[in-house]
Amino acid sequence: MAEAGGVGCVFSPEDPTAPSAVVNLTALDEGAGGLEGVQAGITSAVEGEVEDLTGVGDEAFVVVGPVLGGSVNQGAGAVLLDATVAQVTVLQGQQLTEDEVKQLTVGMLELIGSKA
């Protein structure tokens, strides 16, 4: 159980090894390489094959693999929605297979893409 500093909020996940997802929204920055720049940033940490996703937002990709030399598969990717990039990171500690992590990550990207 962790308590947030000074606000009295308590967070106690039922299973702390369960997968979790983070979504970051940013404006597309062509000066930083656009979506290719986002992909380069993600693949500098996640060691896996990049797969382009068709039919998800304006453009999307996913990559699954260990992070920074680790041994647990994690997922990441991004979907372009007009001039906004939604970056998704899926972290897990249950030794899910690469396919299971990919399914979770692609599902998040598809959900975001469908809501645009």
Name the amino acid, one letter, at 109: L
pLDDT in tens, the chain (116 residues): 444 455 666 666 677 778 889 999 999 988 888 899 999 999 999 999 999 999 999 999 999 999 988 888 999 999 999 999 999 999 987 789 999 999 999 999 999 999 86
Contact (Cβ atoms closer than 8 angstroms) between residue 61 and residue 77: yes
Q: Is 3 a member of any domain? A: no
Report residue 22 as tokens: 């983070």
pTM for the structure as a whole: 0.83
For the chain, where are the alpha helices, taking DSSP H only? 34-43, 98-114
Q: Is 24 a member of any domain? A: yes
Structural domain for 30, as ranges: 15-114
**CA–CA separation, 90 and 37 (whole Å):** 20
Q: Is 5 a member of any domain? A: no
Q: Looking at the 3D structure of the chain, how many domains does it have?
A: 1
**CA–CA separation, 53 and 57 (whole Å):** 9
Report residue 109 as tokens: 């990207």
